[in-house]
Chain A
Amino acid sequence: MTADATGSAIPPCTVDYTRRTEYHEDLDAIRAAHRVLQQVSYSPSLPVKGYNDRTLYVDLSALEIREKPVTRQMKDLFIGGRGFGLWHLWQAVTPATRWNDPENEIIISPGPVAGITQYPGSGKSLVVSISPQTDIPIDSNVGGYFGPLLKFSGFDALELQGKADQDVILFLDGQRGIIRVESAPLEPADSHVLGELLTRMYAEDDADRSNISVVCSGAAADHSLIGMLNFTWWDKRRGCVRFKQAGRGGIGTVFRDKRIRALVCRGPVIKADLNRPADFETLARTGIKLHQEIRTLDDSQCKMRRNGTAHIVEIMDAYDLLPTHNFQYGSHPDTPKIASYVWEARCSQMTSDGCWYGCSLGCAKGADGLVLRTGPYQGHMVTVDGPEYENAAGLGSNAGVFDPEWLLELNFYCDTYGICTITYGTLAAFVMECFQRGILNQERTGGLELAWGNAEADLELMHQMARGEGFGRIAGQGVKKMKELFIRNGWGDPKLIQDIGMECKGLEYSQYLSKESLAQQGGYALTNKGPQHDEAWVIFMDMVNKQLPTFEDKAEALYYYPLFRTWFGLMGFCKLPWNDIAPADNAKTSEPAKIPEHVQNYLDLFTATTGIPIDIETMLMQSARVYNFQRVFNLRMGKGLRANDIPPYRSVGPVTREEYESRTERYDKQMLEEIGVDPAGRSVDEKIAITRAFRMERYGKLCDAVYARRGWTPDGVPTMARLRELGLDVLPEVVAIVQAHGG
């Protein structure tokens, strides 16, 4: 029995997970309206040791479809996944390219290990494009079946370039060897309808639905810059499609700008060895070992199988790290209403929730039987992912929404409308704080009372975004453009607006309160793509466990973890089975935060797949090539310098009197002990200014230390020596860009 924080029993979920509103009655009419615009045949193949050695290129303007070879240099320098995506993108664009230029691409690449079924978290693909929010490359790591099915249909990556002149579907049939572009004039926009419909449309029989994956977005991607992509898989037990999201940076917006309604891949029937690894027995042995570990330890560690990533909601609150009211505060008395035990009881537990076969961690929990109360699907019964931590925090505490059913509805509409939950959460929180402080009012929001916790207004904002109307259309431009607009309109103190708008490089922050962790401030703002925790989640090591006391310690963490985590995106791995489960004796190792046994698992999995032996140093070098290449790519697009790594002050320290006063003891203590100034007798405003000067100087020193450790100049440019060390000096344009920036 599930229990809450006081030990009281919470009844388990009794919802019938097979029931929901269905949407396929118009399937035949919708299919009949399709016209074949282009079709080619090809020879399906299976990878050898993780690679097919070819990618698929589609130009939607010219309706050109062709194969491209994967060269030895591509594999050596870029490995796969995010590396392949960045390399293709580099060749496709120029420094002048913006997100909605036809030459911009969307590249989906699963990586060499992706698609193995033995090890949890091995079905990921990486999506790369020039972001409408940041104007630099964005990369997003996504589950669902599309990446593995693409690979087992014969391609290591899919490149999409150009723009169609009408809404189209790209269908890749890996069983019959057909690639087809079809017009899609009658397709619905929203993912929970479209995914279901297309899965049934392209499957040849009921059993074939498992071999189909759809990539699609939703109505809000058409009218905003924060569109995301849903990647489906067929949930056999529920009898419906489920989704995982390539969320960050607006790739769904690029997708719709190209007039792509959906990508559909029909792959072969999945078997254990389709990746044709060099050493299957090692994959089997390593996978079984982790399955046993999860079976034995998950219940006493993170309970990922019960709660997914939402298991940390109350932990974050307890450590004053749960973003609340636009990152002003780190906890809230109502957090128990959205804590992990609430989700454990709300989600169906007697089923399988992995987003690719073999994931026994199964964090894609499903909240079934949700009856919607607003919007175009009001009254419909739907299944939505039991919220991930980021969604519980972003759509919940950060907006002051502590009602789990409203939170689920916000999550559902973000997903089906095709917008990023993290981005939406942070921008809605910004809007609400602007409303609180009079920067916005009902006149400026077109009547929306965007007060903390007003879920109905929050949802109406989202519905407006989907309809391309009203203030929702403005909000859908993201925090950076809202800040510019509000300042331009003279709606408030420009400095305050800049300070509280939680974006860096144009991307909204994900949901951790970094202001008391210097290392996490760098973990966010020193990222390549913008402040997303998938590069360096070091807040616990730094703030809670005090394992990073010096600048050098923090710099080392901000060297190692971004490289280590980049590696997941080269291979097609999920990060979660690395450290959301740990071996029983992990604490006895010399570096428990790194989970050494699991690192060894990954080295073994790479070698067992490709036949290429590697050690930890080689692993970090593989990542460092791609990581530094991405930094140079940023330079090429006009960013990538120290000036672009400056965070909004809200992520560094207290902006307002209320924030300071919520932690007076902490800030006064720091002033006395670390700054050397006696806070006694000083006004709150004075103390805020002193703290700010100290913290921003300290952040600058962190940049110095991190850049030095990464082999970059004080302006954040990779040095030529570092390029040579990584073997990137064989790329003349990379060298020229670095030299032009003093590297």
Chain B
Amino acid sequence: MRQLKINLPACDGGRTCDHECEAACATRVFKLDGRQGAALHVQELADGQSAAIICDQCGDCVTVCPADALKRNKQGVVMIDKQLCVGCYICIGFCEKGAFERHPGWLEPYKCTACGICVKACPHAALEIVDVPAPVPHII
């Protein structure tokens, strides 16, 4: 399955960049102003390390969605069908990575689709799209 992966040692959490990855995601993918609307988030930690909130396409949200609105596409990426989504936000509450997003005023939530736009935008080449086996679904 297609997955966005971050190399945290290479990512400096925005110390020397303008969070280009988040800005590209927010403005170009979701047409939202500012980087807060991005489907990934990086930040610098006090200890000099970096942290990221990134969807790894684990599929927990697919298991818990009551409307069957979340499914993997051919590349294994979890996609939301807005026609089926009922806006319950269980996907948001049950995402252990905190990677499911919602924007005030939008009824349907959104998430990373591993499109790769952020990969191209990152000045540190800390992001990449990889192909990994999809995890076996588990009881949640």
Question: Which residues of A come within 8 Å of B, CB atoms?
Answer: 12, 117-118, 210, 236-237, 269-273, 281, 284, 287-292, 294-295, 305-306, 349-352, 354, 357-360, 362
On whether the beta carbons of B96 and A295 are closer than 8 Å, the reply is yes
On whether the beta carbons of A352 and B86 are closer than 8 Å, the reply is no
Q: Which residues of B contact A352 (CB under 8 A)?
A: 63-66
Query: Among the interface residues A290, A291, A305, A351, which one has the most CB atoms of the partner chain B within 10 A?
Result: A291
Q: Which residues of A contact B68 (CB under 8 A)?
A: 236-237
On whether the beta carbons of B140 and A305 are closer than 8 Å, the reply is yes
On whether the beta carbons of A287 and B88 are closer than 8 Å, the reply is yes
Q: Which residues of A contact B107 (CB under 8 A)?
A: 271-273
Report if B34 contacts A (CB, 8 A). no
Whole-angstrom CA separation of A354 from B90 in the bound complex: 11
Report if B35 contacts A (CB, 8 A). no
In terms of DSSP, what is the predominant structure of the interface of chain A?
A: loop
Known: A236-B67, A290-B93. 20 other contacts (CB 8 A): A117-B87, A210-B67, A237-B68, A287-B89, A288-B89, A289-B93, A291-B89, A291-B94, A294-B93, A295-B93, A295-B140, A350-B139, A352-B63, A352-B64, A354-B66, A358-B66, A358-B89, A360-B64, A360-B88, A362-B66
Query: Among the interface residues B65, B68, B87, B92, which one has the most CB atoms of the partner chain A within 10 A?
Result: B87
Closest B residue to A272 using CB positions? B87
Which residues of B from 88 to 129 have beta carbons under 8 Å from A? Answer: 88-90, 92-94, 96, 102, 104, 107-108
Report if B133 contacts A (CB, 8 A). no
Report if B137 contacts A (CB, 8 A). yes
On whether the beta carbons of A270 and B137 are closer than 8 Å, the reply is no
Query: Among the interface residues B65, B94, B108, which one has the most CB atoms of the partner chain A within 10 A?
Result: B94
On whether the beta carbons of B93 and A292 are closer than 8 Å, the reply is yes
Q: Which 6 residue pairs spanning A and B have beta carbons closest together? A: A291-B93, A272-B87, A358-B88, A272-B107, A117-B88, A352-B66
Q: Which residues of B contact A281 (CB under 8 A)?
A: 104
Q: Which residues of A contact B137 (CB under 8 A)?
A: 350
On whether the beta carbons of A271 and B139 are closer than 8 Å, the reply is no
Whole-angstrom CA separation of A403 from B68 in the bound complex: 34
Q: Which residues of A contact B140 (CB under 8 A)?
A: 295, 305
On whether the beta carbons of B94 and A271 are closer than 8 Å, the reply is no
Whole-angstrom CA separation of A294 from B102 in the bound complex: 19
Whole-angstrom CA separation of A350 from B96 in the bound complex: 18
On whether the beta carbons of A360 and B87 are closer than 8 Å, the reply is no
On whether the beta carbons of A350 and B63 are closer than 8 Å, the reply is yes
Q: Which residues of A contact B89 (CB under 8 A)?
A: 118, 284, 287-288, 291, 358
Q: Which residues of A contact B102 (CB under 8 A)?
A: 284, 288
On whether the beta carbons of A358 and B86 are closer than 8 Å, the reply is yes
Q: Which residues of B contact A210 (CB under 8 A)?
A: 67
Whole-angstrom CA separation of A273 from B86 in the bound complex: 9
Closest B residue to A354 using CB positions? B66
Whole-angstrom CA separation of A10 from B63 in the bound complex: 22
On whether the beta carbons of A357 and B86 are closer than 8 Å, the reply is yes
Q: Which residues of A contact B83 (CB under 8 A)?
A: 269
Query: Among the interface residues B67, B90, B139, B140, which one has the most CB atoms of the partner chain A within 10 A?
Result: B90
For the complex formed, measure the closest distance between the CB of A356 and the CB atoms of chain B, giving whole angstroms.
8
| A271-B107, A273-B107, A305-B140 known; A359+B86 contact, CB < 8 A | no
Q: Which residues of B contact A288 (CB under 8 A)?
A: 89, 92-93, 102
Whole-angstrom CA separation of A271 from B108 in the bound complex: 9
Whole-angstrom CA separation of A407 from B134 in the bound complex: 39
Whole-angstrom CA separation of A284 from B105 in the bound complex: 10
Contact of B86 among A12, A237, A272, A289 (CB under 8 A): A272
Q: Which residues of A contact B65 (CB under 8 A)?
A: 352
For the complex formed, measure the closest distance between the CB of A270 and the CB atoms of chain B, giving whole angstroms.
5
Closest A residue to B82 using CB positions? A271
Closest B residue to A236 using CB positions? B68
Whole-angstrom CA separation of A290 from B107 in the bound complex: 18
Whole-angstrom CA separation of A620 from B92 in the bound complex: 33
Whole-angstrom CA separation of A743 from B54 in the bound complex: 65
On whether the beta carbons of B104 and A118 are closer than 8 Å, the reply is no
Closest B residue to A1 using CB positions? B139
Whole-angstrom CA separation of A284 from B104 in the bound complex: 9
Q: Which residues of A contact B92 (CB under 8 A)?
A: 288, 291
For the complex formed, measure the closest distance between the CB of B138 and the CB atoms of chain A, giving whole angstroms.
8
What are 16 A-B residue pairs whose CB atoms fall within 8 Å in the complex? A117-B87, A271-B107, A272-B85, A272-B88, A284-B87, A288-B89, A288-B93, A289-B93, A290-B93, A351-B63, A352-B66, A358-B86, A358-B88, A358-B89, A360-B93, A362-B66
On whether the beta carbons of B139 and A358 are closer than 8 Å, the reply is no
For the complex formed, measure the closest distance between the CB of A59 and the CB atoms of chain B, giving whole angstroms.
35
On whether the beta carbons of B67 and A360 are closer than 8 Å, the reply is no
For the complex formed, measure the closest distance between the CB of B104 and the CB atoms of chain A, giving whole angstroms.
6
On whether the beta carbons of B63 and A273 are closer than 8 Å, the reply is no
Whole-angstrom CA separation of A305 from B89 in the bound complex: 17
